[in-house]
Structure 1
Amino acid sequence: MTTVTTTPRSGTPGSDFARLSRKIADAGLLGRRPGYYTARITSVAGLYATGWLALVLIGPSWWTLAVAAFMAVLYGQVALVAHDMAHRQVFRRRRASEVSGRIAASSIGMSYGWWQDKHTRHHANPNTEDLDPDIGPDLLVWSPDQARAATGLPRLLGRRQAFLFFPLLTLEGFNLHVSSGRALADRRLKHRTLDGALLLAHCALYLTALFLVLPPGMAVAFLAVHQCLFGVYLGSVFAPNHKGMPILSADGRPDFLRRQVLTSRNVNGGRFTDLALGGLNHQIEHHLFPSMPSPNLREARAIVRRYCRELGVDYTETGLIASYRLALTSLHRAGAPLRRARTGT
């Protein structure tokens, strides 16, 4: 995993992006898409309700594990809708975006305030050391320097983290809930009382529904399948976007356009890929224009790719499987110092 300390290669900071913005605006790609989002939100909400109704109708049967798998996908889709709402892709006004986003987030047991704060910092400083919370040292290490400084469980896991990455994603759903709860202790978090109440209400309703409808063993099995597959799905959506891309130095970051393009990776695919990944397969365009409605990102992609070629800025796109391979290769390289330390080489 390389560290990039480049400076803008042409123009003054922001000038290249300003010209690109005009091209995007002239193409009409920043306008709202109310019809699309009405259909998408209605469909996701309807399927979400259908899943819980199916649990009740099927009752105490191991077939409910199929419902758990279905609901894992639906939780992921709700998370993607909440993401678009938080970026004000759905509603232009902040108030409407916050209310709708908080409702969507609470329906999957996530603190909207915690996630929005974390995600905003990521967008401002993608793959930037000490600034992007998504590459902060935690359970995994993202660079050789983090590996050398790792202790405890990260040091143990870091040696084989590339092989453990997807198995560890089974814990990501649980981690989302735990991190949401822990964030409520931070007094700087806006609306933390409201987020706490919504989080508690979700947990209470979720567990009550499971243990009222199912025997304890089945309820626990449903919970495990649901949350583990939810974590795998969510992690699989976000892993291709930045993992394995260059890491920037906080002291030598390039201008906005290059900072977003050089650290992001697009994933090739058709409409099904757009649906499964919620449009985040157009990660470069999303990072450049986070409030652009997701159905417009595919059209914006051609404009941005051509413009980057004109500037000589590397524009990375690959297939989905290749993106996972690149991410895992990067994790393996990041853990190299820990393997060498173990062997004494």
Structure 2
Amino acid sequence: MTPTSPSSTATTKPEAVSRRVRYVSTYTELSHRVQAAGLLRRRYAYYWSKIIITMTALAGIWVIFAFLGNSWFQLLLAAGLGAVLTQLTFLGHDSAHRQIFTSHHWNDWTSRVLAGLFVGLSHGWWMSKHSRHHANPNKEGADPDIGPSAFAFTPTIAANRRGLAARLTRWQGYFFPLALFMGLALHIASIQRLLHQQQLKHRWWEVAFIAGRFGGYITVLLLVLPPGKAAAFFGVQMALFGLLLGGAFAPNHLGMPIVPPDMKIDFLRRQVLMSRNITGGRLTSFAMGGLNYQIEHHLFPNMPRPNLRKAQALVRDHCAKHDIHYTETSFVGAYRVIVRYLNTVEHATTDPFRCPLAAQYRT
């Protein structure tokens, strides 16, 4: 047996250290360029304008609702309400990421009020879930967004399904109309979390916000509309709310590489390789709440939404310089990939060395 030479041991450790330093410095270099460009500065005029306009639209819908009275045309207002509540959810998301104010306290409570009092969602529940997603996007066992649900997002989950659920997995990509129920599912999850998580920060404030919001909402509907029309109004609003949110969140990571539980990846590649940008310009950015710039958002979560577009050129050039694949496609192209992935997820490889992601980590 040939003994290990001291020289080989001495060269291995510095190489490993050098590789780690290189990975860290790669993101640091980009971060310095973004900060030097002023892209992390607060955009108060943008956000205050956005908040005032959205709140005005919300108030306007309820004023028209009161004047319109008992009419099936109220369903048009229900659709409008679903769209406005989606925009308020995006503002709550931005505030939770500390994009709006410098003060953590202001951001935290702005998000809590927007989410709970106006939309009916738990800020505390969402923050816990979303923070884990940002830390490990598309990583099995760590990202709650790809955990077990109505859909099987990973080969492991698909392999563990039995009976009818297993048979339906090969067709699940065509079940995207279920996104119509996403809004209702988020509300139910929020209520469940508030009922069972006694240690949730500011829990009773959230209980008061959400209970007051739902109580007031249902009361107003029943005061103006008969039960059947009130139920239809609620259904249309909730369905469009879920569809718009699902349309904004689904294209960002579904169909991108799944990271095995034991794989460690540096921050830059972890965020870029598992994220997808959506083309389409300002209209797409409005409809998706800026989440069409998902790569930039994951690299700089506290970057104000209007600056994400400006950061894109810096990030894309940086990725090209360091040979990191940067994914950008159309909305239709993204859903084509998602449907194909979901329908074939049970046959997807679980060998990380056969995945394009792993090719960048071979020695």
TM-score w.r.t. structure 2 length?
0.88
Give the 5 Å matches for 1:221-260: 221-260=232-271
Task: Say if 1:123 and 1:287, in contact at 8 Å, map to a contact too.
Answer: yes
Per the alignment, residue 85 of structure 2 pairs with 75
Per the alignment, residue 308 of structure 1 pairs with 319
CA distance in structure 2 between the partners assigned to 1:293 and 1:157 by the alignment: 41
* Structure number with higher relative contact order (C-alpha < 8 Å, ≥ 6 residues apart): 1
Which residue type is aligned with residue 279 of structure 2? N
Per the alignment, residue 322 of structure 1 pairs with 333
Could you give the per-residue CA deviations for residues 177-197 of structure 1, whole angstroms, max 9, x where no partner exists?
A: 100001111234222222122
The one of 94, 97, 103 equivalent to 2:113 is: 103
Task: Say if 2:170 and 2:344, in contact at 8 Å, map to a contact too.
Answer: no
The one of 118, 122, 135 equivalent to 2:133 is: 122
Per the alignment, residue 3 of structure 2 pairs with none
Post-superposition offset of 1:52: 1.6
Per the alignment, residue 343 of structure 1 pairs with none
CA distance in structure 2 between the partners assigned to 1:161 and 1:196 by the alignment: 35
2:102 partner SS: coil
CA distance in structure 2 between the partners assigned to 1:282 and 1:163 by the alignment: 26
Give the 5 Å matches for 1:177-256: 177-184=187-194, 185-256=196-267
Could you give the per-residue CA deviations for residues 113-167 of structure 1, whole angstroms, max 9, x where no partner exists?
A: 10111111110110110000000011110122211112477546423211112x1
* Gapped regions of structure 1 (runs ≥ 5): 1-7, 338-345
Post-superposition offset of 1:9: 7.2
Which residue type is aligned with residue 241 of structure 1? N
Could you give the per-residue CA deviations for residues 246-275 of structure 1, whole angstroms, max 9, x where no partner exists?
A: 011231121000000000000111111111
1:175 partner SS: helix
Task: Say if 1:160 and 1:335, in contact at 8 Å, map to a contact too.
Answer: no
Post-superposition offset of 1:40: 0.7
CA distance in structure 2 between the partners assigned to 1:170 and 1:247 by the alignment: 26
The one of 18, 22, 26 equivalent to 1:12 is: 22
Corresponding position: 1:33 with 2:46: no
Q: Identity over the aligned pairs, expressed in percent? A: 44
CA distance in structure 2 between the partners assigned to 1:114 and 1:239 by the alignment: 19
Post-superposition offset of 1:21: 0.2
**CA spacing shift, 1:300–1:55, aligned 2, 3 Å:** same
Corresponding position: 1:22 with 2:32: yes
* Gapped regions of structure 2 (runs ≥ 5): 1-17, 349-363
Per the alignment, residue 299 of structure 2 pairs with 288
Aligned residues: 329
**CA spacing shift, 1:9–1:323, aligned 2, 3 Å:** farther
The one of 279, 282, 292 equivalent to 1:268 is: 279
Per the alignment, residue 61 of structure 1 pairs with 71
Post-superposition offset of 1:12: 3.4
Give the 5 Å matches for 1:136-215: 136-151=147-162, 154-155=165-166, 157-165=168-176, 167-184=177-194, 185-215=196-226
Task: Say if 1:140 and 1:157, in contact at 8 Å, map to a contact too.
Answer: no
Post-superposition offset of 1:200: 0.9
Could you give the per-residue CA deviations for residues 43-98 of structure 1, whole angstroms, max 9, x where no partner exists?
A: 11111111122211111100000001111111110110000000000011110011
Which residue type is aligned with residue 112 of structure 1? H
Could you give the per-residue CA deviations for residues 254-308 of structure 1, whole angstroms, max 9, x where no partner exists?
A: 1000000000000111111111111110000000000000100001000000000
Task: Say if 2:276 and 2:294, in contact at 8 Å, map to a contact too.
Answer: yes
Post-superposition offset of 1:13: 3.9
CA distance in structure 2 between the partners assigned to 1:102 and 1:155 by the alignment: 39
Per the alignment, residue 133 of structure 1 pairs with 144
Per the alignment, residue 52 of structure 1 pairs with 62
**CA spacing shift, 1:157–1:170, aligned 2, 3 Å:** farther
**CA spacing shift, 1:151–1:78, aligned 2, 3 Å:** farther
Task: Say if 1:162 and 1:332, in contact at 8 Å, map to a contact too.
Answer: yes
Which residue type is aligned with residue 16 of structure 1? T
Give the structure with higher Rg (CA).
2
Post-superposition offset of 1:99: 0.9
**CA spacing shift, 1:44–1:313, aligned 2, 3 Å:** same
**CA spacing shift, 1:190–1:156, aligned 2, 3 Å:** farther
CA distance in structure 1 between the partners assigned to 2:234 and 2:168 by the alignment: 26
